[in-house]
Structure 1
Amino acid sequence: MNYRALQQIYFRIPVVLRLLITVLALMALFGVLIHFLEPTNFPTIFDGIWWAFVTGSTVGYGDFVPLSVTGRLLAIFLILAGGGFVTFYMANLSARVVRYEQDLSSGDVTYKGNDHIVLIGWNERTRQLLDMIIERELDESVVLIDQSLQNLPLNKSPIHFVRGSASDDTILAKANIKEAKCAVITSDPSEKEQQADQSSILTTVALKGNNPDLFIITEILTKHQIQNAMRAGANTVIRSNDFMSTLFFHEIFRKDPVKPFNLLLDVFDEQQFKQFELPKEMNGKTFLECSDFYAQHEEILIAIIRNGELLINPPFHKKLETGDSLIVLASLY
């Protein structure tokens, strides 16, 4: 390999690593020279290299000292040349660390992990979901993709921020979407419902195209876009409007409200929703009979899913069928 080829390889190496190689080579050179110039004061080459590092870094322990004029002249060159390289290396390394922290906060760093959860869109729902993951001490790595945030505080551990549009393949590559296990797409509250749903569906297509095995949960606001979201590749479609509208309806027409509506929502901080297929022994039973069964286990049956449609608090006499899914509210503790 000729000199030009070696030079090209050298300049392809990152700056910090090049500086480190230069410092190591320079210290080794001065260490070898001082050993041959003063073998009595520097019995081994390692002693010479140790002296070069101590002197070049201006630490100066004084355990090895050149006594000859030639040795001292060499020490002067070492202080002038080696000291400058060491200082420049440390300054460059510090600048790189600061720049990396800034890039991390501003969402410009590629995520290298795998088997992680990807949250798309920074809003109140995403923040609450992240808080629940942290509070429950779940051992999960989370990547947030959002284009509205300029930066994310680094204390939002264990979240890794990637700034940009989740429908952009370059941004998805930064989030290492090919190695992710799950993605949650939340609707953009700043957009109109129709536009927000279209954005969510487009994002679903982009995610599925980059990782066909990815489990995708998509929030949809309008009912007629549910099938489109499923066609786009969403494994689960959540219509937050349905659930919230039902809660509002029951609160408006309740004859004897016991407490403010906002306190009702606080209940969910200590509860979790569970979804599972209808047990065989429940087939043909009414919603009331199933509700009584789960009430005995301190759980509340609140809805069923039939043919892709969510039925919240259906009539008590409604009979459950094979293929139905149950939504149950259970305590976390």
Structure 2
Amino acid sequence: MKSPLYIRIMFVVLFIIIFFGWIVAVIEPKEFPTAFDGVWWALVTISTVGFGDFAPETVAGKLIGMVLIFTGASFITAFFATSSAAAIKKQYSYAEGNVAFKEKQHVIIIGWNEKASEIIQSVRQIEPFKKIVLIDNTLEEAPLIENVHFIRGNPINDQTLLRANLTEADAAIITADQHKNELEADMQSILILLALKGLNKELYSVIEILTEHQVNNAERAGADEIIKSYQLTSHFIISSYLARNKLSSIYADLNPASGNLFQLLNVPVQLIGVTFKKASHELLEKETILIGIKRGEKTIMNPPLSMIIETDDLLIIFAH
């Protein structure tokens, strides 16, 4: 009785088909040699198909047929009506973000804006089968994007995050709230990060920060990667200003979805102790461009060709 209504009606319909099929086979064994023939007749009758290959001949058999038609037709109609209603209700629940996500190793994106839309499109191109869960409290219904599961709710609340199956997620990306000023947006992003890490300490998290003085708080909250929008945007703007040759048109090709992406590479054994020039040549043979070195907390872009690569360095490369 705890099952959905359409499930209960389905069992009633099956019971009616089997029961009346067996009864008619007992009453008219000549017309219905086996119980299966009776069940077949009951199914054809109740579905109003009416092939006519089997039909009762006696008064008792016809009375059974009449009862079957009156009772069965009403139940079969109710079954299809409730099934359709349940399917529509389920679809509305998905669109409204009320259905919990059950799969694993997915990416959670928090906040709906143009950045989030671009991130989703890039992920779909790089990893077409990667599941994406979007959490947002401003959308009334899910955006029409394939392979995106929408959860409507406040991402600071544990219930919302658990509906997104946060404990089984692969990573989370927190975008700044476009409806708030910079300081309020950063404070909210950090609160969301604390909620994420509180439920899943091992979750890889990327957070967008709009103001410099909130970077330290994001680090304390446990962010694995901090995207300083104010810094990146200003650098691109000044580069375009200095170049004066529509440099911004090239930025689109830096999108990983275009096939090229920046990576940090541990130094291969054969490159330890060699110069930056030699390492660049060897990596270029593998269609990989060496553009810099990360040494501890220091990043050196386009270093001197004579610079020696050390064991603990990380190579900054641009690769396919």
Q: Shorter chain as normaliser: what TM range? A: 0.7 to 0.9
* Structure 2 residue 223 is the aligned partner of structure 1 residue 237: no
* CA 1:211–1:262: 2 relative to 1, 3 Å: same
In structure 2, the residue matched to 1:215 is 204
Kept in 1: contact 2:169–2:203 (CA 8 A): yes
* Structure 2 residue 86 is the aligned partner of structure 1 residue 96: yes
Same amino acid, percent of matched pairs: 34
Q: Which amino acid aligns with 1:115?
A: Q
* Structure 2 residue 109 is the aligned partner of structure 1 residue 119: yes
Mapped to 2, the partners of 1:188 and 1:291 lie a distance apart of 41
Mapped to 2, the partners of 1:276 and 1:226 lie a distance apart of 25
* CA 1:326–1:241: 2 relative to 1, 3 Å: farther
Kept in 2: contact 1:116–1:140 (CA 8 A): yes
* CA 1:324–1:108: 2 relative to 1, 3 Å: same
Match of 1:66 among 56, 70, 82: 56
Unaligned runs of 5+ in 1: 1-9
Superimposed CA distance per residue, residues 78-137 of structure 1 (whole angstroms, 9 cap, x where no aligned partner)? 111101100110111112112222222221211121111111112222222221222235
1:120-199 maps to which residues of 2 (within 5 A)?
Answer: 120-154=110-144, 156-199=145-188
SS in 2 for 1:112: coil
1:2-17 maps to which residues of 2 (within 5 A)?
Answer: 10=1, 12-17=2-7
Query: What is the TM-score when the length of structure 1 is the normalising length?
Result: 0.83
* Structure 2 residue 256 is the aligned partner of structure 1 residue 267: no
Mapped to 1, the partners of 2:81 and 2:248 lie a distance apart of 54
* Structure 2 residue 237 is the aligned partner of structure 1 residue 251: no
* Structure 2 residue 76 is the aligned partner of structure 1 residue 86: yes
Kept in 2: contact 1:221–1:240 (CA 8 A): yes
Kept in 1: contact 2:293–2:303 (CA 8 A): no
* CA 1:326–1:121: 2 relative to 1, 3 Å: farther
Quick check: 87-96 or 236-245, which moved more? 236-245
Mapped to 2, the partners of 1:227 and 1:284 lie a distance apart of 36
Mapped to 2, the partners of 1:235 and 1:94 lie a distance apart of 46
Kept in 2: contact 1:246–1:312 (CA 8 A): no
Mapped to 2, the partners of 1:173 and 1:130 lie a distance apart of 21
* CA 1:285–1:97: 2 relative to 1, 3 Å: same
Mapped to 1, the partners of 2:226 and 2:4 lie a distance apart of 45
* 1:76 Cα deviation from its structure 2 partner: 1.0
* 1:226 Cα deviation from its structure 2 partner: 2.2
Superimposed CA distance per residue, residues 267-310 of structure 1 (whole angstroms, 9 cap, x where no aligned partner)? 31433121245678577978x99878867855252684753x7x
* 1:68 Cα deviation from its structure 2 partner: 0.8
* 1:58 Cα deviation from its structure 2 partner: 0.8
In structure 1, the residue matched to 2:192 is 203
Quick check: 267-276 or 194-203, which moved more? 267-276
* Structure 2 residue 43 is the aligned partner of structure 1 residue 57: no
| Number of residue pairs aligned between Structure 1 and Structure 2 | 314
Kept in 2: contact 1:300–1:328 (CA 8 A): yes
Mapped to 1, the partners of 2:292 and 2:119 lie a distance apart of 21
* Structure 2 residue 19 is the aligned partner of structure 1 residue 29: yes
Q: Which amino acid aligns with 2:254?
A: F
Mapped to 1, the partners of 2:129 and 2:112 lie a distance apart of 21
Mapped to 2, the partners of 1:93 and 1:206 lie a distance apart of 38
Mapped to 1, the partners of 2:295 and 2:213 lie a distance apart of 17
* CA 1:191–1:275: 2 relative to 1, 3 Å: farther
Match of 1:40 among 18, 23, 30: 30
Q: Which amino acid aligns with 1:88?
A: A
* Structure 2 residue 98 is the aligned partner of structure 1 residue 108: yes
Kept in 2: contact 1:57–1:87 (CA 8 A): no
* 1:65 Cα deviation from its structure 2 partner: 0.4
* CA 1:145–1:216: 2 relative to 1, 3 Å: same
Mapped to 2, the partners of 1:162 and 1:110 lie a distance apart of 7
